[in-house]
A and B are shown apart, each in its own frame.
Chain A
């Protein structure tokens, strides 16, 4: 555990990629295979099932520290992380532990069927034998969520250097439905039988936003344009007559979409399609909310299936006839994809068409229709580009339309988490409905660190009332908020739900009387 704690500290306290990679490599060189495997798993959001609930952890931590429960909660709101709060309030340990990461995890997993008092004595004993930094990690093993700034790309790079293998191969091997309890370090990364896991998806190719004029991309001859859809980016795989659907976040979501399973069973064997899941009913695109209902439910009822049916709009093909074809050009891959879609002739599998254009000016004009079509703009793809893994520049670009904007008034503030703990960073905004203020959205990002500090100092002095971690503040500040979409909603007080709201800028020049109204907001709904 000490070794793992050292790695965590090194990686956590630097924002230099090279140093993170170097720290990982140094760790891999010393760690046991079991520890290595768990480290990779934890940093890619694969953690053991929770065996102790957080309410118990909170209670025990307050007890041992001799502080009242409310004070523990106040501390938690300020620290912004439960595992860290516990690690800090506890008295210093009186013992030391030599257990490895793997041993700790196995003991935590072992708690599953234990009685509460057995769990309690194990946890308290553990807290008393770990230093603050180790304790924090121990708590994280239980509560989950190692947000530490190690992307899949970074992990693949470190492993590739350590194992002297190709980064792409490592990235691919790390994908899919594995856990340290079902595989070993060598099976996952070294052994030849990479296809042993038939569900394994390919890493998605992610594009950067185009920040310049498209004319800078050169001749239109080399480029294809597709509409950019706002659904769930997914990978639909059929191998050995089995269907697997993966989300971009590497969650296996097959069972959420029975109609897609039905369709995919008719696919030829050995294919992997990159596409967007969209809710479409009788040819009409339903909003993202309709899709959200489908993601939210583990079991899908008949009514939901009828009201919110989904389709896949296919962008690309990574595997064909059982072969990885990512090295082929976009044109060739799309050729195979078109063939499949055409042969299938199924209403749940639609091709993401290439939008014909002969000049960038023409495409710029077409882009103005994005909102009417329910899209977010264009994806631009170089015709001879291979299917790369991860976020890469050059071959693919997203060229989105400008977001909607509205001026809202800050009415509630809450402290943030992680990097922004101790600062007010979660805000609720309101618009005018005659002379009342109606909250319509929350937003977390978009201010600079300096602005966060400034607003934090202001909130501290202008809090009217507190509701747990939330402070209501005097309506005084206007912010311009940007968002990608807006829909009617019965769940929200304002009657609208926004897609990807964020703060565009702080309108210090605007008095609150000049903020937008609820009817301004509703007029944006299409």
Chain B
């Protein structure tokens, strides 16, 4: 008997409805969990995502009428298959996609985290029989502190750099992490400047009524004196480029879940690592999976081999799926991803 969802080499596929979820090859109809470029790729015939994700996709894929929005919790029927989008808590607009037909319910989680970051709609567990989960941080060494504690560390570091007359530069993905971080900064310390990639995303989100603290685009017209004592938020790729050199006397911080490991911290030429991730940690993954009530689990990108083995020992029917999703990567950035399908 054909399954409700399959993996056809182009993405997650629903044969009965003839739609793909987060496909990485060109297909006529794509349901998109969130706006990160490994999930929302260019070249699909039509896109369906949450209303919150629409402006993000339009910004990244170009203005087109092929992108359609849907509300969280709204039901959509395609050839008898019921689809609905539910908050995944990963970034603004991110959703888990629930798929139901007859007595079978699947949930494609996309990327997710359980903690409420204050800007993405908080994760909601959805009951299902089969759950497709990421495993970016699916190892018991990954455990996150709450974000208030992390923001305190960031602000303390900023104050110290300011006292020494330096610029503070932090890297964060331009969609999601950057806005989360900006809203966690204490604006009484100083000004927050942003790299163009982040400022563009910020202004689109602000236009759509998302609250993001005031930031200033770090244009060429400013000089060191303007930046001194202030904060600059940029995407990871900018930290390795000439762009960052204009800040002259600066300290570099990296906000990423990978900063949990000493080796990763030391390998980057950063001054400090802040352990801040938009993915679920070890406990988060286990809690989320348990809450679905699912027995069958498909594990994708990340530590899928190890994590699926662990789940099997816990009594789940867990399998690995090879996908082209990358999650938060240790050694590449949003802008320079290695195409894993080749």
Contact = CB atoms under 8 A, between A and B. Distances in A.
Interface of A: 12-15, 65, 67-68, 70-72, 74-75, 78-81, 84-85, 88-89, 92, 136, 416-423, 449, 453, 456-457, 461
B272 A422 contact: no
Given A71-B306, A89-B141, A453-B332, A13 B263 contact: no
Interface in B217-276: 260-267, 269, 271-273
Contacts of A75: 139-141
Contact of B263 (A136, A418, A456): A418
Contacts of B2: none
Given A75-B140, A78-B139, A14 B271 contact: yes
B71 interface: no
Interface residues of B, number: 27
B140 A65 contact: yes
A13 B265 contact: yes
A282 to B, nearest CB: 49
Contacts, number: 75
15 contacts: A13-B273, A67-B140, A68-B313, A72-B140, A75-B141, A79-B141, A81-B262, A81-B263, A88-B141, A88-B143, A417-B263, A418-B262, A419-B267, A423-B331, A457-B340
Nearest to A85: B141
B306 A74 contact: yes
Contacts of A12: 262, 265-266
B77 interface: no
Contacts of A15: 269
Contacts of B313: 68
Given A81-B263, A421-B264, A422-B263, 19 more contacts: A12-B262, A12-B266, A13-B271, A13-B273, A15-B269, A65-B140, A67-B310, A70-B309, A72-B140, A75-B141, A88-B140, A88-B141, A88-B260, A419-B266, A422-B261, A422-B264, A423-B267, A457-B331, A457-B338
A420 B272 contact: no
B76 interface: no
A89 B282 CA distance: 10
A422 B310 CA distance: 20
Given A68-B313, A457-B338, A89 B265 contact: no
B10 to A, nearest CB: 18
Contact of A13 (B139, B272, B306, B330): B272
B269 A79 contact: no
Contacts of A449: 267
A246 to B, nearest CB: 31
A89 B310 CA distance: 15
Nearest to B342: A461
Interface of B: 139-143, 260-267, 269, 271-273, 303, 306, 309-310, 313, 330-332, 338, 340
**Which interface residue of A85, A88, A92, A449 has the most chain B CB atoms within 10 A?**
A88
Contacts of B340: 457, 461
Contact of A79 (B263, B266, B271): B263
Contact of B331 (A70, A71, A453): A453
A84 B139 contact: no
A88 B140 CA distance: 8
A461 B140 CA distance: 23
Contact of A421 (B263, B269, B273, B309): B263
A476 B212 CA distance: 49
A419 B141 contact: no
A75 B141 CA distance: 7
B263 A419 contact: yes
B279 to A, nearest CB: 16
Most buried by A among B139, B303, B306, B313: B139
A420 B331 contact: no
Contacts of B266: 12-13, 418-419
